[in-house]
Amino acid sequence: MMGNMMGGGMSGGFFGFSFLTILIILAIIIIAVWMFKSDNGSYRSSGDKPLETLKERLAKGEISEEEYDRLKRKLKE
């Protein structure tokens, strides 16, 4: 009977709650980091994607160097 009054028993009391809270917070952090990583392991940056696409188009010969420079300046605005 005293065990129930002291917060003991199966729940683990205050320390069990603290441990569970820490585990939940760690799980949330790990999931958040995992979600914000792209497939190649680098963090996503929406600002770099258009420039990467532009570089790929230049490499494939789809656009000239002049067009690349013009579009690059426009992206930086």
- The counts of H helices and E strands in the chain are 4, 0
pLDDT, tens digit (0-9, with 9 covering 90-100), for 8-34? 555 556 666 788 888 889 999 988 887
Q: What is the per-residue pLDDT for 1?
A: 46
What value does the mean pLDDT take over residues 58-69? 92
What value does the mean pLDDT take over residues 23-52? 75
Domain boundaries of the chain, sorted by first residue? 14-44, 45-77
pLDDT, tens digit (0-9, with 9 covering 90-100), for 50-63? 888 899 999 999 99
pTM above 0.75, yes or no: no
Q: From the CB of residue 58, how many other CB atoms can be counted at a distance below 10 Å?
A: 17
